[in-house]
A = this chain, B = another copy of it.
Amino acid sequence: MATGRTHRPATRSRGIPEATVARLPLYLRALTALSERSVPTVSSEELATAAGVNSAKLRKDFSYLGSYGTRGVGYDVEYLVYQISRELGLTQDWPVVIVGIGNLGAALANYGGFASRGFRVAALIDADPAMAGKPVAGLPVRHTDELESIITDNGVSIGVIATPAGAAQQVCDRLVAAGVTSILNFAPTVLSVPEGVDVRKVDLSIELQILAFHEQRKAGEETSPAQETAVAAAAQPRSGTGVRPAAGGRKGPDGDVPAVMPA
């Protein structure tokens, strides 16, 4: 995360905790909804509920931004929308390119949330010549050959990678070389980037695996409510289905790594 590191003991100027930054979009969304319903003010309690967090956390988060509330009353919706937008840098236009226009890329291109919040899809890029020119979400798909010029001409600094895992690193390198400094990666690969470039990853199978972990746990407690200390209650999950041998079993075909991302 390219943050910590460096020299400066503290970028004191504005040390907003990373955890708080990650929640600001959540608050912003809830606030936008309120704004559209013309609600003038909200209490930390109400807003917290709408955003899915608890009020103490929300107030603490806001305290890092400044004192934008009014005691005894709450927060002014419009004002807060503006302050958070500004803090997140959404008051300016961010052109982004999406590389890899398969199902996922197309889904992203059509995603309304993009345009509605300061992000503008500057171009859709795909390596398949057959895709070139075909319109997706109203934009003609451009060929990978044009990647560098597109980045440069549009001043793009944020790139979205939705290619198969095998092409991700290469695409990443080209994006970075062309000037992109922030990447949202959907390919199941760990990308190597030079210092100064931020990468955020969205990985479907990881999310599912985390759910499976908790699901498995639930299944195990079901039967024995009590909690056995120790006991490797591995848990035999619900009746469900059969089961795969697994054990020393060979790694299945394609693990994740060579995984294939729709593209």
Contacts and interface: CB of A to CB of B under 8 A. Distances in A.
A204 B108 contact: yes
Most buried by B among A191, A208, A231, A235: A208
Contacts of A256: 28-30, 32-33, 113, 116-117
Given A35-B255, A89-B213, A93-B243, A237 B181 contact: no
Given A237-B92, A247-B91, A262-B107, A116 B253 contact: yes
Interface in A53-84: 53-54, 78, 81-82
Interface residues of A, number: 143
Most buried by B among A203, A253, A256: A256
Copies of this protein in the assembly total 2
Given A54-B1, A209-B90, A239 B19 contact: yes
Contacts of A29: 188, 205, 255-257, 259
Interface of A: 1-3, 6-7, 11-14, 18-19, 21-26, 28-30, 32-33, 35-37, 46, 48-54, 78, 81-82, 85-96, 102-104, 106-108, 110-114, 116-120, 155, 157-158, 160, 181-184, 188, 190-218, 220-221, 223, 225-262
11 contacts: A13-B217, A36-B258, A37-B255, A104-B107, A113-B205, A116-B254, A155-B238, A193-B232, A194-B229, A194-B230, A214-B242
